[in-house]
């Protein structure tokens, strides 16, 4: 059983220090920094705000943390923006963060025919890098990409790795973007010097998965609402069953990902029709093969082809018996993350046979047998070797089971491998088990 971060609160994220995880602790009223084995290495008390309810989700956009909470007295929701404070600047190069300081918030109050109830949200954010070195005093810099960057956006530069400015950060407003040269004109000269690959971050909007549609009635449809940031006006609303019962979400690149039931669903938010990009089975069913395992928070790291799912239990399969066992992490409440890869892997195998005959005719009557192989996205797997076999069932009379040809076949572009079964010329009816095994 993979026990790792061993958190007592159902939220987590990455953060400014690579190799660590972060979580908001209700008991400590702090942001805690933990190693992958659950060892707490630092904590940052909450400042300039307070927790009204436990944090449902925590996200990090490269500079700021964001949290989702229920408002007290069933008033609605609040998304808060936080920063580790103080941080290094040219004026305070020796600053060491000691608190988790509130910066801003988006408050959503129930209204006529609108009820705000959500367990999941995501921050549209982008990680860029300096393309080359730039000395303090210049107001035009070049980035590795200016996609989704617009005039008026605030961008966050650093921490710097330039000697004499190590760790320093600053904020600048964009006044011009040259999409051809990838040069960005800033409203004022930069105060620190930066080297190539120093980070640049900016956020554009917030996505909230509202449990309700805006009809004012329970219709099993949810709403995905997008709010601009920092403007906080509603940009887009989409309603449908795919946004109902969403338990966790995250944003990476141009992909919004969320957990619904046993699946992780992905959407390219720049698709004008908001059609789903893909969905994958995410090992989120308990051993009764019916009850879902809840994911409380999600980290999408699509560059590494992996999702990290924060859960309070997991289901494992016994290799020897094929039986499933669900184990609750102890002592409860305890939350650990499980990984889910996005690179295609074989997830399901189905055997299909020509069913025109309820009972095979004599041996001259051959039967087409097909094995259908699909990945965790439900897509066909090409080029997979499948071994076919025929054996008498335990309850069959003695006899010869017949033959399959070819014994090994390769799946085609539809994920199908085909073989032909030739029954034996037995004087009695036989019960034959035919199998297709992925090698």
Model confidence over 288-311: pLDDT tens digits? 999 999 999 999 999 999 999 999
Residues 364 and 336 in one domain: no
> What value does the mean pLDDT of the chain take?
92
For residue 304, being part of any structural domain is answered with yes
Residues 237 and 120 in one domain: yes
Going by C-alpha positions, the residue among 363, 351, 377, 378 that lies closest to residue 436 is: 351
Counting Cβ atoms within 10 Å, is residue 8 exposed (0-12), middle (13-18) or buried (19+)?
middle
Going by C-alpha positions, the residue among 412, 417, 411 that lies closest to residue 389 is: 417
Q: Is the pLDDT of residue 275 over 70?
A: yes
Q: Is the pLDDT of residue 176 over 90?
A: yes
Rounded Cα–Cα distance for residues 256 and 193 (Å): 34
Token pair of 384 as six digits? 């997979």
Q: Is the pLDDT of residue 350 over 70?
A: yes
Per residue in 359-371, pLDDT (tens digit) is 555 555 788 899 9
Q: Is the pLDDT of residue 58 over 80?
A: yes
Per residue in 412-432, pLDDT (tens digit) is 888 899 999 888 877 778 888
Q: 255 lies in which domain range?
A: 21-125+203-341
Give the domain CATH number at 419. 2.60.40.10
Residues 221 and 304 in one domain: yes
Sheet holding 306-311, edge to edge: 297-301, 306-311, 336-341
Residues 398 and 420 in one domain: yes
For residue 43, being part of any structural domain is answered with yes
Rounded Cα–Cα distance for residues 57 and 67 (Å): 6
For residue 48, being part of any structural domain is answered with yes
The pTM for the full model equals 0.84
Residues 249 and 304 in one domain: yes
Q: Is the pLDDT of residue 184 over 80?
A: yes
Q: Are 307 and 279 in contact (CB under 8 A)?
A: no
For residue 7, being part of any structural domain is answered with no
Rounded Cα–Cα distance for residues 303 and 127 (Å): 12
Residues 57 and 155 in one domain: no
Return the pLDDT at 360.
52
Token pair of 195 as six digits? 């080297």
Could you give the C-alpha distances from 293 to 213, 220, 341, 377, 432, in angstroms and in order?
A: 25, 20, 17, 19, 37
Residues 189 and 224 in one domain: no
Residue percentage of the chain with pLDDT more than 70? 97
Residues 196 and 211 in one domain: no
Return the pLDDT at 8.
97
Return the pLDDT at 358.
46
Per residue in 60-102, pLDDT (tens digit) is 999 999 999 999 999 999 999 999 999 999 999 999 999 999 9
Q: Is the pLDDT of residue 138 over 60?
A: yes
**Domain final position from 150, 180, 200:** 200
Return the pLDDT at 351.
87
Return the pLDDT at 220.
84
């Amino acid at each position: 059983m993979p026990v790792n971060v061993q958190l007592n609160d159902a939220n987590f994220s990455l953060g400014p220090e690579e190799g660590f995880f972060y979580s908001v602790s209700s008991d400590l009223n702090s942001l805690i920094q933990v190693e992958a084995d659950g060892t707490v290495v630092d904590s940052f008390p909450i400042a300039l705000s307070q927790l009204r309810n436990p944090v449902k989700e925590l996200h990090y956009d490269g500079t700021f943390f964001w949290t989702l909470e229920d408002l007290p007295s069933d008033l609605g929701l609040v998304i808060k923006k936080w920063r580790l404070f103080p941080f290094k600047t040219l004026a305070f190069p020796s600053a060491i963060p000691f608190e988790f300081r509130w910066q801003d918030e988006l408050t959503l109050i129930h209204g006529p025919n609108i009820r705000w109830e959500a367990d999941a949200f995501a921050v549209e954010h982008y990680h860029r890098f300096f393309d080359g070195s730039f000395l303090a005093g210049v107001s035009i810099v070049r980035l590795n990409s200016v996609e989704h960057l617009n005039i008026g956006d605030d961008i966050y530069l650093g921490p710097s790795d330039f000697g004499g400015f190590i760790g320093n950060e600053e904020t600048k407003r964009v006044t011009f973007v040259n999409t051809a040269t990838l040069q960005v004109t800033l409203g004022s000269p930069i105060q620190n010097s930066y080297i190539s690959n120093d980070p640049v971050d900016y956020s554009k909007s917030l996505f909230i998965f509202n449990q309700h549609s805006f009809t004012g009635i329970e219709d099993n449809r949810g709403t995905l609402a997008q709010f601009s940031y920092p403007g906080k006006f509603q940009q887009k609303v989409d309603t449908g069953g795919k946004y109902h019962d969403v338990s966790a979400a995250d944003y990476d690149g141009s992909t919004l990902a969320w957990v619904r039931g046993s699946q992780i669903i992905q959407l390219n938010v720049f698709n004008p029709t908001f059609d789903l990009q893909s969905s994958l089975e995410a090992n989120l069913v308990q051993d009764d093969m019916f009850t879902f395992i809840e994911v409380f928070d999600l980290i999408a790291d699509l560059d590494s082809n992996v999702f990290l799912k924060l859960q309070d239990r997991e289901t494992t399969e016994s290799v020897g018996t094929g039986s499933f066992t669900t184990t609750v992490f102890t002592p409860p409440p305890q939350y650990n993350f499980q990984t889910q890869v996005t690179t295609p892997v074989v997830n399901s195998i189905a055997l299909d046979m020509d069913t025109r005959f309820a009972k095979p005719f004599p041996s001259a009557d051959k039967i087409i047998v097909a094995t259908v192989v699909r990945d965790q996205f439900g897509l066909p797997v090409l080029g997979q070797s499948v071994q076919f076999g025929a054996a008498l069932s335990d309850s069959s009379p003695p006899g010869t089971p017949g033959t399959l040809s070819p014994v090994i076949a390769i799946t085609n572009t539809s994920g199908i491998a085909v073989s032909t079964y030739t029954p034996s010329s037995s004087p009695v009816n036989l019960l034959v088990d035919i199998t297709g095994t992925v090698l």
